[in-house]
Chains A and B, each alone.
Chain A
Amino acid sequence: MDVEARKKALRFMFRQVVEPLGYKFTPDEDTADFCLGQEVRLEQKHGVPYCPCQGLTKDHKHNIRIICPCIPYHREHFDYMKMCWCGLYVHKDVTDPGRLRQIPYEEFLKRTGRKP
């Protein structure tokens, strides 16, 4: 497996999905490259490029929700953070991703007055 070629292919494929949602790859190239590299690793191990920052369980319904790009399953939460959980994608207007923080889902609900 040519990892670099696969990373390029994932980039091309994922871009078609995230751009219409208002997201782009993080300008932080180190994070983007590292995440894509880990997703190629996960794809080799599990057959699917799962999110590198969320855990797999035995529950297939849970695991489906963390297949990259998983933005559609977490749309409001990630919109609030202006990035996805692993930071591979950020809102198109983000120029300094280093200032963004992971905000746990329950904290997001509390801050926005939503119910679980």
Chain B
Amino acid sequence: MKRVSMYTLSTCPWCRKTKKFFKDRNIPFDFIDYDLAGEQEQEKISDDMMKYTGHISFPFVRIGDKVIIGYNPEQYDEALKQVA
């Protein structure tokens, strides 16, 4: 499994910035656009997110064991150092 995975929305500008952040640094990542997923997958995603937050807010990024909600390049850098 890749060290970086994320839940995103195809409609969200911050999710676009987040994907760009990792692409620009050639860091491979997995992502699922929540709004383009089927109903069952959406439920799995929201159940997973609800372990960390009461809000289905995006982007939702997992770097190693660290979860970062919202676009936050400083925290991405910090978390990437931990899994380096």
Q: Are B11 and A55 in contact (CB under 8 A)?
A: no
User: Of B11, B56, B69, B71, which contacts A38 at CB under 8 A?
Assistant: B11
Which size bracket describes the interface of A in this complex?
20 to 34
In the complex, whether A86 has a CB less than 8 A from a CB of chain B is yes
CA distance A85 to B69 in the complex (A): 11
Contact (A55, B42) CB under 8 Å given A87-B14, A105-B57: yes
CA distance A86 to B15 in the complex (A): 10
Chain A residues with CB under 8 Å of B14's CB are 53, 86-87, 102
Which size bracket describes the interface of B in this complex?
20 to 34
In the complex, whether A113 has a CB less than 8 A from a CB of chain B is no
Q: Which secondary structure dominates chain A's binding surface? A: loop
User: Of A31, A53, A56, A87, which contacts B57 at CB under 8 A?
Assistant: A53
User: Of B9, B46, B54, B71, which contacts A52 at CB under 8 A?
Assistant: B9
Chain B residues with CB under 8 Å of A86's CB are 12-14
In the complex, whether B25 has a CB less than 8 A from a CB of chain A is no
